[in-house]
């Protein structure tokens, strides 16, 4: 009987050890680092159990930065803030990660800076948006920020996508798209007198400067997107409301409507533009008979839920 008791105790201890090992292997006892990176700004979340800390760094564009430059950026702006935390798992979502070589470079840079990480996943910003707003559920995920994008997510992977064509040919509903319309209304003298005066006071610019920044200076999409704030600051005027609604209608028609799943799944949005004009998006979904899902300024909160 005494031997049986010892055997049972040994089995119990061994089972408890296995359970602790499983939790560790699943990352439950580890320290996770989650990233949502654009070209200009990156948000990072350090996740230790239920505790989390948010950090921001310069954005990482793998088309503009080499592996060595990414390592230098992370070593200077992020690693010191994390102090001596031993990161065991990294989930990185960012711009330019649809390109396999870019993914390889970012993963190598993360591994060099965070050598303790046993698991490093690098994926696209649209996947980050999908997991952020949909979690493990089916849904349409849309990005409405400086640019725009949309996809159908089946709860595990992106099945269909409606790729953005950039600020020249597409990006309907984005900040760059709306900003371009604001600029057009100003340069064509389409705005009513009161709005023209408000524009002049706000931006203090002219035709020559605008055309130079759009056609000759770097990052014209971000420059045009900066004019979208004029819309949020002048809500209520029929011209302003028309620009907002027309821009989103173009996005619905060219992207959301392309997915037959949009009629049976929630339509979710993430991005600063989506969040700023969420009342218009809700009204459009209602009028078009679509199921309104989540609207988030950024996907980090949802990504923390997904990876917890």
Instruction: Say what the pLDDT of residue 146 is.
Output: 82
Report the length, in residues, of the chain. 308
Classify domain 140-298 by CATH architecture.
2-Layer Sandwich (3.30)
Q: What angle do CA 293, 124, 42 make, to 5 degrees?
A: 90
Instruction: Say what the pLDDT of residue 165 is.
Output: 72
**Residue 8: band (very low, low, confident or very high) from pLDDT cuts 50, 70, 90:** very low
The answer to whether residue 24 scores a pLDDT higher than 80 is no
Q: What share of the chain is helix, strand, coil (3-state, %, to 5)?
A: 50, 20, 30
Boundaries of every domain in the chain: 31-117, 140-298
Instruction: Dump pLDDT digits (tens) for 122-167.
Output: 999 899 999 999 999 999 999 998 888 899 999 999 998 887 777 7
Domain 140-298 in the same topology as domain 31-117: yes
Q: What angle do CA 109, 112, 115 make, to 5 degrees?
A: 135
Domain 31-117 has CATH 3.40.109.10: no
Specify burial of residue 225 (Cβ count, 10 A radius: 0-12, 13-18, 19+).
buried
Residue with tokens 């993963």: 107
Long-range Cβ contact pairs of 108-113 (< 8 A, separation 24 or more): 108/67, 109/67, 109/70, 109/71, 109/74, 110/74, 112/71, 113/71, 113/74, 113/75, 113/78, 113/79
Instruction: Dump pLDDT digits (tens) for 100-126.
Output: 999 999 999 999 999 999 999 999 989
Q: How far apart are CA 152 and CA 66, in angstroms?
A: 31
Q: Residues 89, 30: contact at Cβ < 8 Å?
A: yes
Instruction: Dump pLDDT digits (tens) for 225-235.
Output: 999 999 999 99
The answer to whether residue 20 scores a pLDDT higher than 50 is no
The answer to whether residue 201 scores a pLDDT higher than 90 is yes
Does the pTM of the predicted model rise above 0.95? no
- Mean pLDDT for the stretch of residues 58-74: 89
Instruction: Dump pLDDT digits (tens) for 242-289.
Output: 999 999 999 999 999 889 998 999 999 998 899 999 999 999 999 999
Instruction: Say what the pLDDT of residue 9 is.
Output: 53
Q: How far apart are CA 295 and CA 271, in angstroms?
A: 8
Instruction: Dump pLDDT digits (tens) for 27-59.
Output: 345 899 999 998 778 999 999 888 889 999 988
Contacts of 139 (CB under 8 A, 6+ apart): 130, 133, 152, 153, 265, 266, 267, 268, 293
The answer to whether residue 171 scores a pLDDT higher than 70 is yes
Average per-residue pLDDT for the chain: 87
């Amino acid at each position: 009987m005494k031997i049986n008791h010892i055997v049972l105790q040994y089995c119990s201890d061994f089972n408890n050890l296995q359970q602790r090992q499983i939790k560790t292997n699943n990352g439950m006892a580890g320290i996770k680092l989650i990233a949502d990176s654009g070209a200009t700004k990156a948000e990072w979340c350090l996740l230790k159990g239920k505790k989390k800390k948010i950090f921001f760094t310069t954005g990482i564009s793998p088309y503009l930065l080499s592996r060595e430059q990414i390592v230098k950026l992370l070593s200077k702006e992020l690693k010191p803030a994390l102090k001596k935390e031993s990161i065991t798992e990294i989930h990185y979502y960012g711009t330019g990660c649809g390109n396999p070589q870019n993914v390889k470079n970012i993963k190598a840079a993360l591994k060099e800076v965070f050598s303790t990480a046993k698991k490093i996943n690098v994926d696209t910003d649209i996947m980050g948006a999908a997991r952020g707003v949909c979690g493990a559920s089916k849904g349409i995920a849309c990005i409405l920020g400086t640019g725009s994008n949309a996809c159908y997510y089946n709860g595990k992977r992106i099945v269909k996508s409606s790729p953005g064509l950039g600020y020249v040919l597409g990006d309907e509903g984005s900040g760059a798209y709306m900003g371009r319309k604001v600029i057009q209304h100003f340069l064509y003298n389409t705005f009513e007198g009161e709005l023209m005066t408000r524009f002049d006071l706000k931006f203090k610019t002219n035709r020559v400067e605008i055309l130079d920044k759009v056609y000759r200076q770097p990052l014209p999409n971000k420059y045009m997107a900066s004019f979208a704030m004029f819309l949020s600051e002048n809500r209520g005027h029929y011209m302003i409301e028309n620009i907002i609604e027309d821009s989103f209608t173009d996005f619905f028609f060219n992207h959301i409507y392309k997915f037959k799943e949009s009629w049976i799944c929630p339509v979710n949005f993430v991005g600063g533009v989506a969040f700023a004009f969420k009342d218009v998006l809700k009204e459009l979904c209602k009028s078009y008979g679509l199921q309104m899902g989540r609207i988030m300024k950024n996907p980090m909160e949802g990504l923390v839920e997904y990876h917890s």
